[in-house]
Each structure stands twice: as structure tokens, then as C-alpha cells.
Structure 1
């Protein structure tokens, strides 16, 4: 039984890129965790916010500049995860929508864990709006970077040029196609057999035979 080799798998993220993305992700998460959990010297802290969009509405009430600053900072806090998390998968987490769902879910879980740890620090408070803005920033960064990442790391090897085929002219006396009767054209020549004529005096003798 003859075994055929398996079809080659398409191009994917190289192991070096995945290891580099893992190292950058670990370093960035350590930096963000240090910023989020370091103690602050404050006189008092506001209570934790568990109502969605309450802090965002308060920022808009302070003015457009204050809202843009706080919302932009909240979205940029986890935005690099939208680029680094897809690079951990061999195929960037699948198609665009599947990769977006996986990346947003992972980014939301990381942001939720940070907010929970902040609630344990006396000078920090948890805010559900921070989780919303962090997750939104991850989603926007993923959508902006996914097409570029796919073009850079999933680009397959260029196909080799096909060798030129030189067509030979048909030999003289041979034509392509089929015979008028519909069958294949015969290459061999037909031979004719010469039969001598019968004389009149030999006819009775031939008729009497047999």
C-alpha cells in the first residue's frame, strides 16, 4: 500500500516571534501590575464603583478635556494586549472575529484580575468602568493591528516560477485530431494486395472447383 505524504501546513507565526511576544507580554503585565498596585500617599479615597458608566458620566460632567484624558488613559492601559495576545497563537487566534473574541476575553479577564487586586490595596479602589475601558482599548488595538500582523507573520513563501515549456512543432505528415469517422487516426499505412485478372478460359475450371 502506497502512502502519500501529508499536505504541508500553511505558514504561521514562527516560534521566535511567539517567544518574543510572550516575553514582551510578561514584561508589560509586570509593569502595569506595579503601576496599578503601588500604594499612594492620599488623605482619603473614594468608594469603589460597581455601577457601569458612572465614572465615565462623571468625567464628561467635568468637561470634554477631562473626559478625553481619563477615557484615553483607560483605553491605552491595556491596548498593547490587543497586539501581543494574538501573536501567542500559531495562526493569530484564527480568523479576525475568532481572534477578536479570544483577545478581548483574555484582556477583560486580566483587567478584572487587576481591579480585584486593587481592591485589596488600602489606597486603591476598584472601578468597573476601568474594566470596560481597558477591554475596549484591547478590542480597538486588535482591530487596527490584525490586518498588518496577518500580512507580516502569516505571509507564506513565494511560489517558485514555473519552468517554461517549449512546444515542439508537429512533424510533417502527422496531424492532430481525429479521423472523419470519429475514431482515432491510425498511424500505420494500409497495404494494398494486387489480384491478377481471371481469363475467360479459366473461368469454367475455377467454377468447377470445390
Structure 2
């Protein structure tokens, strides 16, 4: 009969698992802070976004007298092809106006979020979705209140301008903000390990002389 303490089965399985998959040592946390929200950028983005939307709303509701109006357009890029085919400066200006109407929103909307470490793809998709909703709302208000006809090309050009502005400015701007935050961060000073005092040794007894 074998003597000795038997190892519990759970402990044996745990030891075998740790032997096959050893745990990695924990790494030290980065000394650079990664704030979820950059407050100054968020405040500036909110203020500028509100001003830009107010300007867009004023332009939409402003009545412009015209002698005649085109019919409603539900065919994508039909108006764009007609404007470019004419080859006139007014046609090119009309296409540029459609691209620039909501272009600032593609920059100011991520600024209003104020997240320098946000995902590039996620930010692009969120901004594009919000821009599509905003462009549709602007076109509906312009048709219902501004006295203009519905044109699907205005929505398409507005979203395209917003997306192009976002791709051209936002990733580089976030990278600049991250570099600035990391340059301002000061790493925590390293604490030297305490060295235990050396043990005292008994000194040799000095012989005494008798008188």
C-alpha cells in the first residue's frame, strides 16, 4: 500500500494546465495618460458645430427668388451630370456648393465627441451615418419650408463632401492631439527598491591586561 498524501484531482488538473499554458507576466502600465474625452477639443467642437448648423439652417430657410424651378429629381447624379455637361462656371459652382454645404460637419462632429483615441473606421462610419441623416433632414426642411424642390443629388453631394472632409482632416488631427498629450505626459519616477541593512557581525573581544 502506497503511503503519502494524495494530490487532489482539481489541483492536478490546474497544475497540468499551467504547465502547458504558462501565464504571461504582467506588464507595467504605460506612463502616458489616455483620456477617453479631451475636454477642450469637445467644447470647441460643440461651439463650432452649433454655429455651423445655424449657418446651414439660415441658408436653407433663406428664400431666393427664381424665374423658374426644375422638377423634383430622384435619379442619383442626374443633376450633377447635367451641371457638368453644361461646362459653365455656374454649373461647377453649384456642384462645389453641394459638396461644401455639410463638409465642416465631417470635421466638427468628431471634434464634438472629443475622443482622441477613437477608432478611425468606427469614427468614419458614425460620422457618415450622422451626415446622411442630417443631409436628408436638410433637404426635407428645404423642400417643405424653403419652397425648393426635392433633389436627391443634394443629399449625395452633402454626404460625399462630409466624408471627404472627415478622411482628409480627422485622422491627422487625432494623431496630432495624441502626440501632444504624450509629449506633455511626465512618466512616474521609478522607485528604487529598498536595500535591507547589512547584518551586524560580533566584534572580536579585546584582551585585557591585569596590572
**1:108 partnered with 2:132:** yes
Query: 1:69 maps to what in 2?
Result: 93
Q: Is the 8 A contact 2:34 2:117 kept in 1?
A: no
The Cα of 1:160 is off from its aligned counterpart by: 4.2
Deviation, structure 1 residue 144: 0.7
Task: Decide which structure has greater helix share.
Answer: 2
Alignment pair present for 1:11 and 2:35: yes
The residue number in structure 1 matching 2:112 is: 88
Separation of aligned partners in 1, 2:117 and 2:135: 20
Give CA-to-partner distance per residue, 1:130-187, whole Å, 9 cap, x none: 11011000111011112321123333333547979xxxxxxxxxxxxxxxxxxxxxxx
Aligned to 1:23: 47
Normalised TM-score (structure 2): 0.66
Distance 1:36 1:161, change over 3 A: closer
Question: Is the 2:77–2:153 contact (alpha carbons within 8 Å) kept by the matching residues of 1?
Answer: yes
**What is the aligned length?**
161
Identify if the C-alpha distance between structure 1 residues 70 and 151 changes in structure 2 by more than 3 Å, giving closer, same or farther.
Answer: same
- The alignment's TM-score, normalised by the length of structure 1, stands at 0.66
Structure-to-structure mapping, 1:136-151, within 5 angstroms: 136-151=160-175
Cα distance, 1:101 vs structure 2: 0.7
* C-alpha RMSD of the superposition: 3.0
Give the distance between the partners of 1:23 and 1:65, measured in 2 at CA: 34
Q: CA separation of 1:23/1:163 partners in 2, compared to 1, >3 Å: closer, same or farther?
A: closer
- The equivalent residue for 1:53 is 77
**SS of equivalent residue, structure 2 residue 75:** coil
Unpaired runs of 5+ in structure 2?
1-28, 191-211
Q: Report the counterpart of residue 157 of structure 1 in structure 2.
A: 182
CA deviation vs aligned residue, 1:66-91 (integer Å, no higher than 9, x gap): 54322222111111011101112242
What's the counterpart of residue 12 of structure 2?
none
Structure 1 unpaired stretches of 5+: 1-5, 165-210
- C-alpha displacement of 1:64: 6.4
Higher mean displacement: 79-88 or 6-15:
6-15
Q: How much does 1:9 deviate?
A: 6.0
| Residue from 137, 141, 150 that aligns with 1:117 | 141
Out of 85-94 and 131-140, give the one that drifted further.
Answer: 85-94
Kindly indicate whether the alpha-carbon contact (under 8 Å) linking 1:60 and 1:66 is maintained by their aligned counterparts in 2.
no
